[in-house]
């Protein structure tokens, strides 16, 4: 039998010592966090009940994001880096569901002659939209996450995401400060388009769902192609 080399013996013994080290029990820390979370929720309820609802909703959304790893950045980045489009298809599915839901809400208000909710979010589309999307796309890939992904990873303790969150806040404040100038001189130069005004309510929903379906099929074929190449 071939003798084991000293270096290999040393590595084996050090690995054994590491394996023998008991892992720290995280249960007390988890219970402490739960207790503090509940106490803080009670404190908020005493101050203002609505804030407690926001607190609970934020915790639930954070838990869902963390467990599902749902991230808009990953949905756009993963097809190029890993070939996976599972998150891309999940985002497209969410778009399809919200398209139907919001169209029903808006149409319900329209037929009753009531103000259509959410119309203030219909903003002009121009070259500025494409330029902003390009800049944001580069930034969120370098940072490793968009707003939701950054917040989720800050909660997980990623130090780089804490830095990203800091500059995210700085950039948002700066953007809010200068938004009036950009809106007056750039954004309003474009044209706002409300699809039901162009294609009708049914036509707008069908067209949007068709585009989403084509993107979903393309994403699925992309992943299958990448898997066959690998």
Do 102 and 157 fall into the same domain? Answer: yes
Record the pTM.
Answer: 0.69
Res 1: pLDDT: 47
Looking up tokens 């804030």 gives: 51
Residue 157 to residue 168: CA distance in whole angstroms: 17
| Residue 13: half-sphere exposure toward Cβ, Cα within 13 Å | 7
Residue 41 lies in a domain: yes
Do 102 and 179 fall into the same domain? Answer: yes
Do 84 and 196 fall into the same domain? Answer: yes
Cβ pair 129, 190 in contact under 8 A: yes
Q: Going residue by residue through the chain (230 aa), what tens digit of pLDDT does each one get? A: 445 555 554 555 555 555 556 667 778 887 888 889 888 888 888 888 788 888 888 888 888 888 877 777 778 888 888 888 888 998 999 999 999 999 999 999 999 989 999 888 888 888 888 888 888 888 887 877 777 778 888 877 788 888 888 888 898 899 899 988 888 888 888 888 899 999 999 999 999 999 999 999 999 999 988 888 77
Do 41 and 121 fall into the same domain? Answer: no
Do 100 and 30 fall into the same domain? Answer: no
Q: Which of 68, 87, 118 is the last residue of a domain?
A: 68
| Number of domains, the chain | 2
Distances in Å between the Cα of 13 and the Cα atoms of 1, 24, 48, 80 are 20, 21, 58, 42
Res 11: pLDDT: 54
Domain hosting residue 162, numbered range: 70-229
Res 18: pLDDT: 56
Q: How many CB atoms lie within 10 A of CB 71?
A: 23
3, two tokens:
């003798």
Res 216: pLDDT: 95
DSSP state letters, 152-215 = HHHHHT-HHHHHHHHHHHHHHHHHHHHHHHHHHHTGGGSB---HHHHHHHHHHHHHHHHHHHHH
Do 175 and 84 fall into the same domain? Answer: yes
Looking up tokens 């949905």 gives: 75
Residue 4 lies in a domain: no
């Amino acid at each position: 039998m071939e003798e084991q080399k000293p270096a290999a013996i040393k590595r084996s013994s050090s690995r054994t010592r590491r394996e023998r080290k008991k892992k720290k029990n995280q249960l007390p820390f988890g219970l402490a966090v739960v207790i503090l979370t509940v106490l803080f929720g009670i404190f908020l309820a005493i101050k203002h009940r609505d804030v407690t609802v926001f607190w609970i909703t934020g915790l639930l959304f954070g838990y869902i994001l963390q467990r599902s790893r749902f991230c808009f950045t990953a949905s756009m980045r993963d097809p190029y880096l890993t070939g996976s489009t599972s998150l891309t298809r999940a985002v497209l599915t969410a778009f399809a569901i919200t398209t139907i839901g919001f169209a029903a809400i808006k149409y319900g208000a329209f037929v009753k002659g009531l103000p259509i909710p959410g119309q203030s979010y219909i903003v002009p589309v121009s070259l500025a939209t494409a330029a902003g999307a390009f800049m944001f796309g580069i930034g969120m890939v370098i940072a490793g996450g968009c707003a939701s992904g950054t917040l989720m990873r800050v909660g997980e303790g990623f130090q780089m995401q804490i830095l990203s969150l800091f500059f995210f806040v700085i950039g948002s404040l700066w953007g809010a400060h200068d938004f009036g100038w950009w809106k007056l001189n750039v954004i309003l130069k474009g044209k706002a388009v409300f699809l039901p005004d162009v294609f009708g309510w049914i036509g707008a929903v069908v067209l949007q769902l068709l585009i989403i379906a084509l993107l979903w099929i393309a994403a699925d074929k992309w992943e299958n192609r990448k898997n066959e190449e690998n």
